[in-house]
Amino acid sequence: MEQIFETYAIFKSGGKQYQALLGKTVALEQLEGNVGDTITFTEVLFRKENASTVEFGTPFLTKPVTATIVKHMKGPKIIIFRFKRRKKSRVKKGHRQPMTIVRIETI
């Protein structure tokens, strides 16, 4: 049985960790830049090339992950509803988090 090992990396952006697969898109919290701009993520925590080549950062690796901005958008709507019984108190709010979609170019 043949195993296929994809090259991937784990990087940090906006206080969260994301998995970077070559050519795939990732939805991140809003980043500065225009559509088509290239972004480099220097806080790379982990990289796997094949089954035997695995690198761990202490705390970060030296080779960055680069990506291209595909589009800016808003995330799904989140409803916040506060209610106090017998007080006629209700507050309904909505929120959509701004996001940036990036395509991973190099790992």
Asked if residue 33 is part of any domain, the answer here is yes
Asked if residue 54 is part of any domain, the answer here is yes
Asked if residue 40 is part of any domain, the answer here is yes
Asked if residue 30 is part of any domain, the answer here is yes
DSSP per-residue string spanning 32-93: SS-TT-EEEE--EEEEE-SSS-EEE-SS--SSPEEEEEEEEEEEEEEEEEEEETTTTEEEEE
Asked if residue 21 is part of any domain, the answer here is yes
For 27-81, the pLDDT digits (tens) are: 999 999 999 999 999 999 999 988 788 999 999 999 999 999 999 999 999 999 9
Asked if residue 85 is part of any domain, the answer here is yes
pTM of the model: 0.84
Please state the domain count of the chain: 1
Asked if residue 1 is part of any domain, the answer here is no
Asked if residue 26 is part of any domain, the answer here is yes
Q: Which domain holds residue 88?
A: 8-106
What is the arithmetic mean of pLDDT over 11-18?
A: 96
